[in-house]
Amino acid sequence: MNEVWITDLAVTTGLGPTLAATWQGLMAGRTAIRPVTRFTTDHYSSRLAACVADLEPERPGGSRLWPLLERTAAQLAPPPPGARLLTATTKGAIDVLERGRRGWPADPDAWSLPRLLTRISRHLGLATDDGANINAACASSTIALAQGAAAIAAGRAEAVVVCCMDLVSEFAFSGFSALRALAPTPCQPFDRDHAGLSLGEGAAIIVMVSAELARREKRPCRGTILGWGVANDATHITAPARDGCGLIQALQQALRRAAVTPDTIAGIGAHGTGTVHNDQMELTAFRAVFGAAIPPVLASKGALGHTLGAAGGIELALGLQALAMQQAPPTVGLRHPMEGAAALACSEAVALRGECLLRCNSGFGGINAALVLGRGRDG
């Protein structure tokens, strides 16, 4: 099996235009969750989301999605031109469809996902591959990363670029409001007073290559993907399995594929939505896998909001940064840890000790996905 290296990555979030800026905001305990101004929230259960500053459509009738992607792609070195493209998004350029339904000017080319993939591929110089999109609810990015890593490990590809993206749209906002899943105040992952999630938007682009190609082209190793797991608990269209069975299976798969034991994991990058059922399900799964020795838990949605299909890519980048710095940032919004979380999710930064991080995301429809990440290294 080939080693899977992450040689480049870029992030744009409501907290900052780069990974460095986002990390600095997290470490300072800041949040990007604030009142929404791009549409009226008068009839919804929350008025808050974490939007990217100054994000406007590229042209009349266009989408905010392409400017978001351009900002993110501008941070990258040129990827291998023969790389395969995978994208991860739940709703794509949904803002254009909203405009069209209201009878406003709307560019159908901006809404078309196949055309968007072709545009991304050409923009990144990936002329040989128009790519494919993974839509697996809020686990979309993590599953796309798992598929890319599996292709490289098995020798089916030398390089894969995973482009993760989603917007704060009124369509998504109204849906989560109808489900009564939105918190009226900024979300509080793993807090006893958690009352729901806060939406966010952002993008991440992750470049993965085989170690052989990286060495041949003298590309750096920002981190590695050692293992991956995907499972479905098939319990409910929106609610997670209370016993965490699907997430437990995904976590165990990832650990087995990485050939590491739970005691080698320095930290866990949690989904951490701030909803009662998700937070409790994750703690149940972590206890099942780690017993009493659960490592520190990283949860960033109290600062970034829930970025839907982009969450896994953004959180992978933050997880690699945490491994590089050997620090877990504070869980923004956490004031009074829920039962069982007091020693795990911390309101202040904590030290990490180890070379591996376990990351997970869960989504509607019972989808669960996990990755084992390795710390970056030279040569």
- Position 107: which residue type? D
How far is residue 122's CA from residue 129's CA, in Å, rounded to a whole number? 9
Nearest alpha-carbon partner for 149 in 210, 214, 79: 210
Quick one: pLDDT at residue 58? 87
- Position 61: which residue type? G
pLDDT band at 60 (very low <50, low <70, confident <90, very high): confident
CA Rg value for the chain: 19
Helix ranges, 179-275 (H): 211-216, 245-258
| Percentage of the chain exceeding pLDDT 70 | 99
pLDDT band at 128 (very low <50, low <70, confident <90, very high): low
334 to 11, 157, 194, 271: CA distances (angstroms): 24, 42, 9, 15
Q: What is the pLDDT of residues 29-58, one digit of tens each?
A: 999 999 999 999 999 999 999 999 999 998
For the whole prediction, is pTM greater than 0.75? Answer: yes
Residue 124 has pLDDT above 80, yes or no: yes
Quick one: pLDDT at residue 343? 79
Average pLDDT, the chain: 95
How far is residue 149's CA from residue 302's CA, in Å, rounded to a whole number? 29
| Percentage of the chain exceeding pLDDT 90 | 89
Quick one: pLDDT at residue 157? 96
Quick one: pLDDT at residue 379? 52
Average pLDDT over residues 350-372: 97
**CB distance 304 to 21 below 8 Å:** no
Residue 130 has pLDDT above 90, yes or no: no
End-to-end CA, the chain: 18
310 to 28, 330, 344: CA distances (angstroms): 23, 21, 24
Architecture of domain 4-216: 3-Layer(aba) Sandwich (3.40)
Average pLDDT over residues 153-168: 97
In CATH terms, the fold of domain 221-377 is Peroxisomal Thiolase; Chain A, domain 1 (3.40.47)
Quick one: pLDDT at residue 268? 97
Q: What is the pLDDT of residues 234-261, one digit of tens each?
A: 999 999 999 999 999 999 999 999 999 9
Q: What is the pLDDT of residues 289-344, one digit of tens each?
A: 999 999 999 999 999 999 999 999 999 999 999 999 999 999 999 999 999 898 78
193 to 166, 179, 337, 339: CA distances (angstroms): 27, 19, 8, 11
| 334: its two tokens | 């956490």
How far is residue 126's CA from residue 165's CA, in Å, rounded to a whole number? 18
Handedness of CA 151, 152, 158, 160 (dihedral sign): positive
CATH 3.40.47.10 positions along the chain are 4-216, 221-377
